[in-house]
Amino acid sequence: MRFELTTDQRDFAASLESLLAAADTVSVARAWADGDHAPGRRLWERLAEQGVTMLATDATPVEVCIAFEALGRHAVPGPWVESAAYLPMALGREVEGIGTVAAPRALDADVADEVYVVVDGALHAATPGAAHVSVHRGRHLFDVTPGEAVDHGDLAAADDLAILATAAQLLGAGERVLADAVTYVKQRKQFGREIGSYQAIKHALADVRIALDFARPLVFGAALAPTPRSVSAAKVACADAAYLASRTGLQVHGAIGYTQEFDLSVWITKIRALVTAWGTPAEHRARILDSLVGA
């Protein structure tokens, strides 16, 4: 089967890319990490005006994946998966402002207008508690205390859409790291030659390209026909591909890639956090296996 985005979907992707490319999202992400949420909130409002927060209820999973790939490619901070993928499906409505849900800890609960947690298969309002650090400075995690139960829809479907959105974010982040790595190896010279001219580096970057290209069809295949197996397969493939991109990007950049001040670190640490967000690779591989053997 040959899958291509429609004209409207391509236009939507182009409009998001234009908005985010002009938004200096790295500065927004760094401010968010330092506790200054004002730039992030302004960007959130602009993206909401573009319809990103209503895609889960008013569009298809394909549009959700398009949006979240763009969010990952530009390292947009905030609980986007929770607020624009999980909660709209779980609540059957667009979240008012910023929302989050504990999975198992609540991302950015300190800035969220709505906070929830699932207890014994039911969705409850929640109150943020103790804060915890993440490998990615822009991800602030919180324990929560459950409150009253709220009406909800299909939480399993909401969970699958959140997993798929996370996979799309990983795909976008991996693409950005690869693009930056390719640009760098064309500029950096060693022994009088661009390091990108060395065969070992070409092969390493080609492996990343192949991994991302193999992951992309799984994302959009799951978006067209979401099942637990297809969604988990997309998450595993995107996690593996993005992690390979981060390792390769770090390797070709050398020591500078380790520094927090270098922009590459924003994506590398975010990829590391998203690999285990909404289910670890081992958990998703187990779910795929269970679906195949009929357990």
The position carrying tokens 């990829």 is 271
Q: What is the pLDDT of residue 215?
A: 97
Q: d(Cα 187, Cα 170) in Å, to the nearest integer? A: 26
CATH second-level architecture of 156-293?
A: Up-down Bundle (1.20)
The position carrying tokens 């890319």 is 17
Q: d(Cα 287, Cα 295) in Å, to the nearest integer? A: 9
pLDDT interval class at 3 (50, 70, 90) = confident
Residue 135 is given by DSSP the state S
pLDDT interval class at 1 (50, 70, 90) = low
214-223, 249-258, 266-275: segment of lowest average pLDDT: 249-258
Beta-carbon contacts of 208 under 8 Å, excluding residues fewer than 6 positions away, are 174, 178, 181, 241, 244, 245, 248
Mean pLDDT of 140-165: 96
Q: What is the pLDDT of residue 190?
A: 73
Domain limits, the chain = 156-293
User: How confident is the prediction for the chain on average, in pLDDT?
Assistant: 94
